[in-house]
Chain A
Amino acid sequence: MLELTRNVHYAALIFFSIAFVLCAIGAPTEGSPFRIWGRRSANIGFILITGLLIHRWNAVGFLPVTGLFSTLHFLSIWMVGATLYFTWRYQAFRLLPATLALVILALLKASGGDMALKPLTPALDTPLFLLHVSTSFAAYGLFAVGALISFYRLLGLSASDYGHERRMLDECIYLGYVFFSWCMIAGSLWAYLAWGSYWTWRIKGLWSTILWFYYSGVLHIRNRGRWQGWPLDLLTIAGFALVLFTFLGLGLLFETSHPLN
């Protein structure tokens, strides 16, 4: 399993790297073979990492997302998945290079993590874990893609052939918020059953609540006239910085209930 994991991981990295180069060259040009083959290569990479996740899940009987390697893989699946959906729905090919750059960075960081499958500790052996983790990474992935779209908008670049950047941004923020709400609800119920309280004064929970309230605020103002344009874009980018700190910063630098080391 370890050998297979390593091989598939590096194969996916290669396909994403090829896709990045091809998309960087051909994404702006409609009908360009670079862009078509770039997306195909990204599709293969996506199928590889998703297939690896399903295979590892099947092998151990639980969603394997407990360490740095697995979590970054899972985050990459959501980021690439959301962007590929946007390329299909809104012809957002120009977004692919940015997403792929982020995914390549995530997978390179994941290469340093432990790829072995560890047995699930009893505390994590609950369906609430599955719901909590899958929805949190769905949200993180959407917030990341949202930040990339905002970055494009700030630079005056187009992410979609149809000019649907605002619509894509709205989908990322709205659906990301819904997923993150489910993550928080499942996490609180799980904490109540496992540790005796739905609310604990621990740094991970506190920062997750900050993230939740932050995006509650963004959600409330995203359609208000005076917040359109760069203010909303800056807020979305700052939101992703908050995601990075809550997910990676706390997990790697602090002693938390969600360690990544």
Chain B
Amino acid sequence: MAVKKKNPFLKVWDLLISPASFVLVSCLWCLDLGIGSIIAYKRDPKFWVKMDSVPFTVWMDRIAPGELPYSAWVYILVGLTWVMVISLALCTVHWFFRRRATKRGPAELLVHLGFMLVFIGFVLGSGWGEKVQNIQITKGEIVDIESMGVKLKLDDVKRVLDEAGNALDTVSYVSLLDEKGELIVEGEAKLNHPLIDGPTVVYPNGGGEAIIGAHFSVQGMGARSVSKPTPLTLPNGNTISFRGGLEEGRRYKNWMGPGAYLVLSAPDGRDLAGAFIGSVGVFNTARLGNMQLTWIGPVVSVQAVFNVHRDPGVQFVLWGAIILMLGTAWAFFGFLRRTQ
């Protein structure tokens, strides 16, 4: 009797939906991620911080090429992940043809669907998401987040301290505005409780007191103050503006805080000169143009720090998580029932 040859298409199909294929790809995936992550950590413990600070595709396009060959494992990981997801998708399709009659099937189907939705969400978030981090805002200030077409306003901020005075949390009341300044959403943002507007989420990332200006004396003019955003106008029409502050204990290049960087500008807006003044000896006095400035003290305000993320795939991920939860719960109770 002649043995009927199997259709080559079916052979490929069987290979693709075979659990062994999935296991092989899983093993390669685990090996690649495991070895790659250890090498990356040993080379630079802050490697992950850099990866987390921008959307994944931006990291892949702009940062990872400069880290080659140490970032090669991430490209391999992406390839293997696509293969795994294709395997998952085909197994799910297979389920519709072969296994839908069994009671166990729906649990497996839900778990596979959940994984795929999470993956779709991850791809959307990586490709079309946006991350803006360490946005420092003082109370009442509005910061333009151009890349997202929104503005963030800090309405109020309170610090939560423990008995020893250590900061535990920063509770902020923030408003998200559109480009025209119209309110989109407002509310409280604190740890485990970000301000959410669809795919856009405002996360608190600490806070504290910030130097937003300086008190100083100008030889022949007496004491003056300047703080952002309003510059100090001099009798000749020039202005002195505050461009940045260093809090106590912080350093930037050779400058040591507390201090402020001030800039002298012409009436037409051109910058003429800049100088850093502060309380540490050598920075106590400084020349700004033809003026002699002497540091008196900082202008301080409470500030909060935020990360704003926009992830267009997050709804897929959340639904994927819910479906995964349902699938695993179904599997769990089904398993208990079967083993009783």
Whether A174 contacts B192 in the complex (CB less than 8 A), given A182-B328, A203-B37, A216-B26, comes out as: no
Q: A195 contacts which chain B residues (CB < 8 A)?
A: 203
Q: Are A203 and B48 in contact (CB under 8 A)?
A: yes
Contact present for A254 and B29 (CB under 8 Å): no
Cβ of A21 under 8 Å from chain B: no
A18 to B95, CA, bound (A): 51
How far, in whole Å, are A254 and B37 apart by their CA atoms in the complex? 12
Could you say which of A125, A174, A196, A254 contacts B203, with CB atoms under 8 Å apart?
A196
A252 CB to nearest B CB, Å:
14
Partner among B37, B193, B332 whose Cβ is within 8 Å of the Cβ of A175:
B332
Cα distance, A140 to B42, chains bound together (Å): 26
Residue numbers of A with Cβ under 8 A of B are 119, 121-123, 125-126, 167, 171, 174-175, 178, 181-182, 185, 188-190, 192-203, 206-207, 209-210, 213-214, 216-217, 220-221, 224, 254-255
CB distance from A237 to the nearest CB of B (A): 16
- From the candidates B191, B193, B321, B335, name the one contacting A185 in the complex (CB within 8 A): B321
With A194-B192, A201-B48 in contact, do A224 and B26 touch (Cβ < 8 Å)? Answer: no
**Bound Cα distance from A197 to B201, whole angstroms:** 10
Most buried by A among B38, B52, B162, B192: B192
B41, A254: Cβ atoms under 8 Å? yes
Determine whether B22 belongs to the interface, using a CB cutoff of 8 Å to chain A: yes
Question: Can you name 7 A-B pairs with beta carbons within 8 Å?
Answer: A175-B335, A181-B111, A193-B194, A201-B51, A202-B48, A210-B34, A217-B30
B157 interface residue (CB < 8 Å to A): no
Q: How far is the CB of A153 from chain B (nearest CB, A)?
A: 19
CA distance A182 to B309 in the complex (A): 25
Residue in chain A with minimal CB distance to B129: A197
* Set of chain B residues within 8 Å of A224, measured between Cβ atoms: 19-20
Q: Does B86 contact A (CB under 8 A)?
A: no
Q: 1/0 per residue B146-172: CB within 8 Å of A?
A: 000000000000001010000011000
B317 lies within 8 A of chain A by Cβ: yes
Question: Among the listed B22, B307, B331, which residue makes an inter-chain contact with A217, where contact means beta carbons less than 8 Å apart?
Answer: B22
User: What's the least CB distance linking B25 to chain A, in Å?
Assistant: 9
User: Using a CB-CB cutoff of 8 Å, which residues 16-58 of chain B contact chain A?
Assistant: 19-20, 22-23, 26-27, 29-30, 33-34, 37-38, 41, 45, 47-48, 51-52
Is residue B122 contacting chain A, with contact meaning CB distance below 8 A? yes
Q: How far is the CA of A202 from the CA of B190 in the complex (A)?
A: 22
Residues of A within 8 A of B37 (CB): 203, 206-207
Q: Please give 17 more A-B residue pairs, beta carbons under 8 A apart, in addition to A125-B191, A174-B335.
A: A122-B191, A123-B192, A175-B335, A178-B332, A185-B321, A188-B321, A194-B191, A194-B192, A195-B203, A203-B37, A210-B30, A213-B26, A213-B30, A216-B26, A217-B22, A220-B22, A224-B19
Count of B residues near A, CB < 8 Å? 47
- Which B residues, 233 to 264, have Cβ-Cβ distances below 8 Å to chain A? none
Number of A-B contacts (CB under 8 A): 102
Instruction: State the Cβ distance, A132 to closest chain B Cβ, in Å.
Output: 12
For the complex, what is the distance from the CA of A178 to the CA of B110, rounded to whole Å? 13
* CA distance in complex: A217, B307 (Å): 36
Q: How far is the CA of A193 from the CA of B47 in the complex (A)?
A: 23
Instruction: Given A122-B191, A195-B203, A220-B22, answer yes or no on A214-B30 (Cβ-Cβ < 8 Å).
Output: yes
Residues of A with C-beta under 8 A to B47:
201
Q: Is the Cβ of B192 less than 8 Å from the Cβ of A190?
A: yes
Name A196's closest neighbour in chain B (CB-CB): B203
- Contact across chains for A201 and B52 when beta carbons are under 8 A apart: yes
> What is the 8 Å Cβ interface bit string for chain B, positions 287-302, against chain A (1 contact, 0 not)?
0000000000000000
Which residues on B sit within 8 Å (CB–CB) of A221?
Answer: 19-20, 23
Q: Is the CB of B307 within 8 A of A196?
A: yes
List chain A residues, Cβ under 8 A from B27.
214, 217
B72 to chain A, nearest CB (A): 15
Nearest-neighbor residue (CB-CB) of B339 within chain A: A171
B83 interface residue per 8 A CB criterion: no
The answer to whether A217 touches B33 (Cβ under 8 A) is no
Contacts of B328 in A (CB 8 A): 178, 181-182
Q: Is the beta-carbon distance between A198 and B19 smaller than 8 angstroms?
A: no
Mark contacts of B100-119 with chain A using CB atoms, 8 A cut-off: 1 yes-contact digit, 0 otherwise. 00000000000100000000
- The answer to whether A122 and B160 touch (CB under 8 A), given A178-B328, A203-B41, A210-B30, is yes
CA distance A180 to B168 in the complex (A): 30
Contact B33 A210 (CB under 8 A): yes
| A123-B191 CB under 8 A given contacts A175-B332, A220-B19 | yes
CB distance from A182 to the nearest CB of B (A): 6
Shortest CB-to-CB span from B312 to chain A, Å, is 14
Q: Is the CB of A189 within 8 A of B168?
A: no
Contact B162 A119 (CB under 8 A): yes
Residue of B23, B38, B51, B325 with most partner-chain A CB within 10 A: B23
- How far in angstroms is the closest Cβ of chain B from A228? 14
Please report the C-alpha to C-alpha distance between residue A125 and residue B168 in the assembled complex, in whole angstroms: 11
Does residue B176 face the partner (Cβ distance < 8 Å to A)? no
A120–B317 Cα distance when bound, in Å, is: 29
